[in-house]
Amino acid sequence: MLNELQLIQWLKLGRVAGLGPIKLQRLVECFGSIENAYNALPQELLDTRIVKADMLPKLKKLKDEPETNYLASIRECKAQNIQIITLTDSEYPLKLKRMPYPPLTLFLWGDISLLESRKIAIVGTRHPSEEATKLAYEFSKFFADMGLNIISGGAEGIDTTAHEGALDSKCGKTICVYGTGFFHPFPKQNELLFNEIRKANGLLMSEHLPKFTGSRISFIQRNRITSGLSDALLVCASGERGGSMVQTRTAKEQCIPIFCPALGMNIQPNEGIATAIEKLGAQEIHTPQELLCKLRDRAKSLDVYLEQIA
């Protein structure tokens, strides 16, 4: 784990446009440590062929920034028992590390052992029908009872119901991925739900400093974490457009198996479901048991799969 100074240096370097996660890791490897990379002379950085000349002014500006705000955020996290894990840490989840563009830093509030657990992501529209809400709740509770942890984004509608189903299970654990920092929960009306997740030994996750208020891009980017950590994605209900369809396409790009209610069940809205089946390879299911059976076929052995999630 990085100390305070190293973490400040990591956070500053991570804000240099063009210096993405792969390049930043290579840069640290070139110099042997984050401190050496951060303190390297401009020509030394250019000689690596990782840092380009147009990055140097931004890097200098970031270095000149006072460390006060970064340090305050780091210490506030410590005071609130929020753990900070960077891409270079051994605790960083392997599934995320294997992604094309993994988060540079994870802020984790709760039980971090859930990062390595078996998980199913459950997502869907913010405006579900009564039937869609019931399906999301029942599937979520069933999977949680089976020992699978439910991961979603804490949004209104299906996300909220998925978290609630998991909390009402005998295990009661779920993971919520924020699109904001922890000190600006969104939506505000779910603040009690987020607190309940943490109190139930669940996990809140964000790739942003606690005071970050969120942006259109940050809510889209969190999708790669939600599906990237999961063994499967269940899309309960979706219109043709919206966040759940963005999430489904992201899962497709990540080669995460996608499931959805069979069209014959007429779970509304289902325009996005039809698209997911036709264009994104989503598999139709009628029951949560059927989803597990399809995962069994994928894993070749249900017994092995259930042993892994026990």
Q: Can you give the pLDDT at residue 310?
A: 56
Q: Can you give the pLDDT at residue 305?
A: 53
Complete DSSP assignment for 77-112: HHHTT-EEEETTSTTS-HHHHTSSS--SEEEEEE-G
Q: Can you give the pLDDT at residue 302?
A: 47
| Residues 193 and 287 both lie in one domain | yes
Backbone angles phi, psi at 44, to 5 degrees: -65, -40
Q: Where are the alpha helices (DSSP H) in 126-176?
A: 130-145, 158-167
76 domain residue, yes or no: no
| Residues 48 and 189 both lie in one domain | no
Q: Can you give the pLDDT at residue 11?
A: 96
**Distance between CA 1 and CA 97 in Å, rounded?**
16
279 domain residue, yes or no: yes
**Distance between CA 161 and CA 237 in Å, rounded?**
12
pLDDT digits (tens), the chain, 310 positions: 899 999 999 999 999 999 999 999 999 999 999 999 999 999 999 999 999 999 999 999 999 999 999 999 999 999 999 999 999 999 999 999 998 899 999 999 999 999 999 999 999 999 999 999 999 999 999 999 999 999 999 999 999 999 999 999 998 899 999 999 999 999 999 999 999 999 999 999 999 999 999 999 999 999 999 999 999 999 999 998 889 999 999 999 999 999 999 999 999 999 999 999 999 999 999 999 999 999 888 876 545 555 666 5
| Residues 144 and 250 both lie in one domain | yes
Percent helix / strand / coil, the chain, rounded to 5: 50, 10, 35
180 domain residue, yes or no: yes
Backbone angles phi, psi at 237, to 5 degrees: -165, 140
- Token pair of 256, please? 């995460």
93 domain residue, yes or no: no
**Distance between CA 178 and CA 209 in Å, rounded?**
11
> Of 173, 133, 163, which is closest to residue 269 (Cα–Cα)?
133
Between helices 216-228 and 243-253, what is the axis angle to 10°?
Answer: 50
How many domains, in total, are found in the chain? 2
Residue 114: exposed, middle, or buried by beta-carbon count in 10 A (0-12, 13-18, 19+)? buried
| Residues 27 and 166 both lie in one domain | no
**Distance between CA 254 and CA 102 in Å, rounded?**
12
The SS3 assignment for 188 reads: helix
What are the E-state strand segments in the chain? Answer: 83-86, 105-110, 119-123, 149-152, 174-177, 203-206, 232-235, 258-261, 283-285
| Residues 52 and 199 both lie in one domain | no
Q: Can you give the pLDDT at residue 297?
A: 84
107 domain residue, yes or no: no
Who contacts 235 (Cβ-Cβ below 8 Å, separation ≥6)? 123, 124, 244, 247, 248, 258, 259, 260, 272, 273, 276, 282
| Residues 281 and 170 both lie in one domain | yes
Return the CATH number at 207. 3.40.50.450
* Residue 25 belongs to domain spanning: 4-65
